[in-house]
Amino acid sequence: MKSLVLAVVSLLAIYSVNCEVYFEEKFPDDSWESNWVYSEHPGKEFGKFKLTAGSFYNDPEEDKGLKTSEDARFYALSRKFKPFSNDGKPLVIQFSVKHEQEIDCGGGYIKVFDCKLDQKDMHGESPYEIMFGPDICGPGTKKVHVIFSYKGKNHLIKKDIRCKDDIYTHLYTLIVKPDNTYEVLIDNEKVESGDLEADWDFLPPKKIKDPEAKKPEDWDDKPTIPDPEDKKPEDWDKPEHIPDPDAAKPEDWDDEMDGEWEPPMIDNPEYKGVWAPKQIDNPAYKGPWVHPEIDNPEYTPDASLYKRKELCAVGLDLWQVKSGTIFDNFLFTDDVEAAKERGEALKKTLEGEKKMKNQQDELEREKEKAEKPEDDDDEDLDDEAGDAAPVEDHDEL
C-alpha cells in the first residue's frame, strides 16, 4: 500500500513539473500599459481601456481588469508572450468577462495569434489562430464564439453556445485536447463538448452521394394514389358564385344611362369546391429512394486538428456600442486541473460582486423611499391650501 501511495505521489510530481503556464495576466497595477500595445491601424476610431475593478466587486485590488471606457468605439489592444505549441498536450484558454454596462451590442471575446502579428496594425482582418468568447448584439445574438483557423480559413463551431448576458463576472474556458476533442466551460461548468472534426467543417465529409447512382425510372415513391374506383357525383359541379336572389334593381336605375342592370354575385351555398378522388395506399410504393453514398476521395483524416504550431499573442479586437466591459484573469496553460482550481476560486468574486451590488441597490431603494415622503407632504400641503375657504376682500365691502 505504501509503495502504491509513493507511486501516485511520484506521478503527480512528474505531472506538475511537466505542466506549464504559457501566459497569465491579472492586471495587478499600471504595468499593463508597458506590456500591452494599442493598434494604430488607420481608418478606425479606437477606444481606450482603463484599469478598474468596476463599480461593484469582491476585492478592489484583486478584481481590477481592463475596462472599455468609450461608447461606440472599436478596441484593438494586444500583448505578446513567449511562443509555444500545444503539440501533444492539452490547451486551456481561460479569461473572465464582466459586462457591467448591461451590454446591448458588443464583443467580449479574445483572439490568439501567432508571432507574425503586427501589434500596431492589428485590425479585424488580421489572421488569428483562435477566437473565443462571448458576443452579444440585441436579443438575437448571445453566443460564445469558438473559431479556429485551419489551412488559412476561419472555421466557426456548428453548435450554438449561449453566453451569459448579466452584469457580473463570468469565466470562459476553452479546453482543446490532443485526441481532437474539446470542452467549453462557463464558470467552471461544462456547457458544450465534442469532437473537432464533427463540430467544425475543417475537413470535407467522409461520405458523398454516389455520382453514378440514379433513382430507377420505375421507382414509385408515392405512398398514396387517387382511388381509380372513386367517381365524381353527378350533382357535384356547382358554380362558386351566383346572382343574389334577394337583390332588386334600384328604382332610379336608368338602363340607357347606367347600362343593363345585373344583380350582385354572392357565394353559392351549394358550391362544393374542386372535386378530387380520395386517396388510397399505393400498392406499388417502394418507400423513399435513398441516394447511396461512397467514400469521399477528397477526404483525408487529420489527427492534428487540435494542434497550433505557434501561439504568441493575445488580442482584444472588438466593437462595442456601449462601453463598460472588464477583461481579466487571462490564463493559457496545458494544466486542465489548475485552470479549474482557479475557476473555483473565482466563484468568490461572483459572490462578492452580487453581495455588493445588492447592498448598493438596497441603499438606492432606501434613498428613494426617504425622498418620496417629502414630496408627498408638499403635495398634501398644496391640496390643503387649495381646499381652504377663500379669504374675503374687506376693501370691497
Q: Is 57 annotated as a binding residue?
A: no
Q: Is 393 annotated as a binding residue?
A: no
Q: Is 128 annotated as a binding residue?
A: yes
| Grid cell digits, residue 280 | 388510397
- Rounded to whole angstroms, the maximal C-alpha distance in the chain is 121
Structural element, H or E, at residue 265: strand 265-267
Structural element, H or E, at residue 172: strand 169-176
Helix, coil or strand: residue 24? strand
What lies within 8 Å, CB to CB, of 251 at 6+ separation is none
DSSP summary character for residue 348: H
DSSP summary character for residue 304: T
Write a three-state SS string for 72-120. CEEEEEEEEEEEECCCCCCEEEEEEEEECCCCCEEECCEEEECCCCCHH
Estimate to the nearest angstrom the gap between the alpha carbon of 311 and the chain centroid.
26
CA dihedral (63, 320, 120, 128) positive or negative:
positive
CA dihedral (364, 370, 375, 376) positive or negative:
positive
Q: Is 317 annotated as a binding residue?
A: yes
| Grid cell digits, residue 132 | 473565443
What backbone phi and psi angles, to 5 degrees, belong to 373? Answer: -60, -35
Residue the block writes with cell 358554380: 239
| Grid cell digits, residue 221 | 415513391
- Nearest CA to 122 out of 155, 78, 72, 83 is that of 78
Q: Is 355 annotated as a binding residue?
A: no
Helix, coil or strand: residue 327? strand
| Grid cell digits, residue 357 | 451590488
Q: How many CB atoms lie within 10 A of CB 80?
A: 17
Estimate to the nearest angstrom the gap between the alpha carbon of 249 and the chain centroid.
67
DSSP summary character for residue 80: E
Give binding residues for an alpha-D-glucoside as ranges: 109, 111, 128, 135, 317
Q: Which residues are documented as binding site?
A: 109, 111, 128, 135, 317
